[in-house]
Structure 1
Amino acid sequence: MKWLMTRVLAGVAAVVAVLVGAGALLGFQAAGRPAEWAVSQGSDAAWVGSWEDTGPLAAVLDTGGVDTVYVHAGDIAADGSVERVPDTGALLSWLARGYPDVRALAWLRHQVTGSSLLRDRFDADAREVLASEAPAVAADGFDGLHLEIRPVTVNDPSLPELVGMVDEGLGEEAVLSVQAQHVELVPGARVPSFVFGREEKYWSKGYLDRVTGHADEVVLPGVDSGMPMGLLYEGFMVRQATEGVSALAHREGVAVRFGLPAYRSGRWGPGAASESLETALSGVRLGLTRAEPPEGMVLGVALYLADETRDDDLAAYTSEWLSP
């Protein structure tokens, strides 16, 4: 019994050490000034959850910084089938009339709870179904697909295989965008999260690269960070930028975007007072400065969500990113 308790306490101490080290790292990361070049390239994006009122979306698009929207077009069931959102054609027509240069990708979501450690997130039959249905959704007036499937445990082989199958079904002209999970802040930091949260919150850099190997665009989320303070959240976003760019720097032609918190309803995720669009942008700019991305790498941010973006969010986006 004493031997067992010693092992348990040692394990807890190791986890605490990782957490303390990660917190100190994040606080340090938030110090510094971003480079002048770490600003918009005009390749930003925004999620669109509803189009009953296109006013907020129009305000986002009128900034001129957003060239891609992820339109909520369906939810993915466990068997791989897609329950489509009705009347997306109305929004696509509105975009075509008012913003013909903005690409619309069909945003397909699959969000559950629990880990895929012992069982693939999608079995072979489900992968076949989704690989067939997803391109059919994209072909319904969209320029491609944006996949959001989470949580997925690192080294779950089903997701990289699924992304490859979907890419093959889309064809060469359509765009494939993949929303990743957060990149672990330091090597091994995903383990405490897995132990206490009982699901995989973070991906390793290697798994991020593996999952998105067939993607044209990759989005790293900037919401639901779990950071209790704005300073730690800013450091969190710095690490997302540095680690994300580092993991994908060898990938020629891939676009990398970082999510910005701009939603208000609980439908899309838990609210967090520490997460603000302005703080996220400060972290992204600092992170890109330190990452020194390769020349030609397309970088941007993505607003989550455009149809819930407020005036103060737009003001921060414009002043801190488009014309700082």
Structure 2
Amino acid sequence: MKWFLTRLLAGAAAVAVVLVGIGVLLAAQYSGKPAAWAVSQGTDAVWVDSADDADALRALLDTGAVDTVYLFAGKIDAEGGVSATDDLRPLVEGYPDVRALAWLRHATEGSSLLETRFDREARERLAPSVAGAAEGYAGVHLEIRPVRVNDPSVPELMDLVHEELPEDAVLSVLAHHVELAPGGRIPSFVMNGEEKYWSKGYLARVARHADEVVLPGTDPGMPADAMDGGFTVRQVTESVAALRTRDDMTIRFGVPSGEQAATVLAGIRLGMTEAEAPEQMRLGVSLSDPADLPLYTAGWLG
């Protein structure tokens, strides 16, 4: 028993040392000065789930920097059905240069190393339902979480949805955070019981048929601002590296609401400076709350 406890404590100490080392490296990445060009390129977006956001949304759209709005349009169930919600498209009337995407969400708790998120019947039922829900929109934005790395059902679903949508429709997907180092997602999976991170390879696999990818901006799980900032820098550089061959891709980085937004925006700018994205790749942000206009203006519009 004493031997076991000794080994257990030694293992815990080793993990603690690794975590401290990661923290130091992340904090170090959140340093330096971003390039002057690392600001809005006019390809930003915002999530909107309620008509209550109408006034704040108009003020945000008046900046001219937001070209895409994800309007919550329905929930996806495990069997592949879509439950539609109130039509929010009137919120973007009067803004002809702004695209409205139907935001469809499937969010649950827990994920398995063996089970897929959607079985074959659910995928085949869901693809035409997604296309139907996106009628009248410029395309669709899929939020499906959590999804384990190497789950084949989500890339296959993206393929089916791509085939169902009109040729000029936009297909956008909300990804998971990219693991900071190969295999780094495994400790998180063990501790949390669900997938929080994707490998770069799986991100590229899911995005194969997507036009746009959004990285989450919430819950980085870091205990200090400098680590939050460094984590964000890594999200930018790793996602650009994963999708570098897709030089026509749009990648957006989610921005949380509240005080943390300033840190994340600064990290995105530093990440853009470091990432050296292909010339045709478009990088932007996606706001979680339209009311964060002051932070967006100060930290991103340049």
TM bin (shorter chain): over 0.9
Q: Call closer, same or farther: CA 1:16–1:142 in 2, change over 3 Å.
A: same
**1:104 maps to which residue?**
100
Q: Call closer, same or farther: CA 1:254–1:136 in 2, change over 3 Å.
A: same
- Distance in 2 (alpha carbons) for counterparts of 1:202 and 1:144: 26
**1:121 maps to which residue?**
117
Cα shift at 1:283: 0.1
**1:298 maps to which residue?**
282
TM-score by length of structure 1 reads 0.88
**2:211 maps to which residue?**
216
**Contact preservation (8 Å) 1:22, 1:185:** no
**Contact preservation (8 Å) 1:30, 1:234:** yes
**How do 1:69-218 and structure 2 match up within 5 A?**
69-86=69-86, 88=87, 91-96=88-93, 98-139=94-135, 141-218=136-213
Cα shift at 1:116: 3.0
**How do 1:2-17 and structure 2 match up within 5 A?**
12=12, 15-17=15-17
- Distance in 1 (alpha carbons) for counterparts of 2:91 and 2:110: 38
SS in structure 2 at match of 1:38: coil
2:244 to 243, 249, 261: 249
- Distance in 1 (alpha carbons) for counterparts of 2:5 and 2:151: 32
Gaps of 5+ in 2: none
- Distance in 2 (alpha carbons) for counterparts of 1:3 and 1:75: 51
**1:236 maps to which residue?**
231
- Distance in 1 (alpha carbons) for counterparts of 2:227 and 2:36: 23
**Contact preservation (8 Å) 1:18, 1:189:** no
Cα shift at 1:94: 4.0
Cα shift at 1:158: 0.9
- How many pairs align? 302
Cα shift at 1:60: 1.1
Cα shift at 1:12: 4.2
Cα shift at 1:6: 7.3
Cα shift at 1:9: 5.7
RMSD value, Cα: 1.8
- Distance in 1 (alpha carbons) for counterparts of 2:156 and 2:53: 38
Residue type of the alignment partner of 1:95 = V
- Distance in 2 (alpha carbons) for counterparts of 1:4 and 1:112: 37
Q: Call closer, same or farther: CA 1:239–1:317 in 2, change over 3 Å.
A: same
TM-score by length of structure 2 reads 0.94
Cα shift at 1:321: 1.2
